[in-house]
Structure formats: structure tokens, C-alpha cells
Homo-oligomer: A and B are copies of this chain.
């Protein structure tokens, strides 16, 4: 067995944007808009899953989508083309996150009147987005089967702040050594109240449950 030592290098992470996030959340609640922040690694299937989900729900509720990216407008365009809903692309100048202030500025330009469900597709990253409250009512994250069941151990904050954890690309499970029970156990240890849902945009697994979950949240915001 090789030798392993550990060095701690600390730095404070400020959370100065909490008041802005709270103001955004209050404003959206008053308007009856349910706001969900969607986070994951790059390539975990956010855009594909959101497209499938929006197409199922768009006749029942009014949906708008905000997409954060460093450089491209790929995702917003892809969602808009595939679903026809209003989408906006936010370029954040190379940062690895979007904070409450950026979200609030984007919302000022992107009207949420006539919207029931506002989706923020956050930047593909398991670290920084977890540190910033965007003003969303709920955080949802995707962990794809090809990424591996050890990710909750390696990115604990992301799993701790996510109300809903989707295990995506379950159709590829035969091809990877992904231990679903171990993954669930690791997530629940960090976040006992997390709702964990295995889904596949390809086979449709879990999409009924996810739609029902979101419809319930939308109804709750509208009181």
C-alpha cells in the first residue's frame, strides 16, 4: 500500500449574496412563478433531460428557461428549438458559477410575467454553483451513471444543497459499474431529505414522477 498524506489549504467562501437571492425568491413567489436551479457536471445530460421534460409539460404550464454558459449559446438555442418555449442565454464571462446578483440582473431583462415554471440551467460544474444561492425555490442536480457512484463523496456540498437528485442516463447502467444503492446511501447520508429519482431521457424512466413532483411544487408556490 502506498503512502498518502493530506494537506489542508483553506480559504473562506463568502455567501454575501443571500439577501439578493431572498429578494428574488420573494418576488417570484408573489408572481406565482416556481423557480428551479438545475446543476450537474458537464455532459450529465441537463439539456437533453430538460428538453424532454419541457416538451411533456409545456401544454400544462407556462415555462421559461435561462441557460448559463461561458461562451456558447448552444444550450438555450437547443432548448428553444426543441421546445418552442422562451429561452435566454446568460454569458458569465468565464466564471464557474452564477450568483444571485447575476440571476436578478438576467431576470430584469427576461420578463417572468405569464410564467409558471422558471428553469435555470446552471453551468456544468459540481463545485462553484453549489456555493451560491441563486434565488431558486429548489435546487435540482443530475448525477449521470457514467460519472460513477462515488461523486457524493467527492462533491459533498453539491449533494447537500440539492433538494432533488436525478440519477440520469440509467439506460447506460449495463455498461458501467454504477452501484445505485451505494449512490443513494451516500446522497442520503449528506442530505437525508433529498428526493432521489433515477431517470432516463432515452427510455422515459422516471419522467412521470419528475413531472408530478414539479407540478406539485408549482401548485405550492401558487398557494
Q: Is the CB of B156 within 8 A of A70?
A: yes
Q: Complex Cα distance A43/B146, Å?
A: 7
Contact of A87 with B4 at beta-carbon distance under 8 Å, contacts A92-B9, A123-B127 already known: yes
Give the chain B neighbours of A6 by CB distance below 8 A.
73, 76, 88-91
Cβ of A220 < 8 Å from any Cβ of B?
Answer: no
A interface, CB within 8 angstroms of B: 1-11, 13, 41-43, 69-77, 79-81, 83-96, 102, 105-106, 109-110, 123-128, 131, 144, 146-148, 150-151, 153-157, 169, 172, 175-176
- CB < 8 Å neighbour of A2 from B80, B96, B148, B169: B80
- CB < 8 Å neighbour of A102 from B9, B72, B126: B9
Q: Is the CB of B2 within 8 A of A83?
A: yes
Give the chain B neighbours of A157 by CB distance below 8 A.
70, 94
Q: Complex Cα distance A30/B69, Å?
A: 41
Q: Is the CB of A93 within 8 A of B2?
A: no
Min CB–CB distance A163 → chain B (angstroms): 20
Q: Is the CB of A7 within 8 A of B105?
A: yes
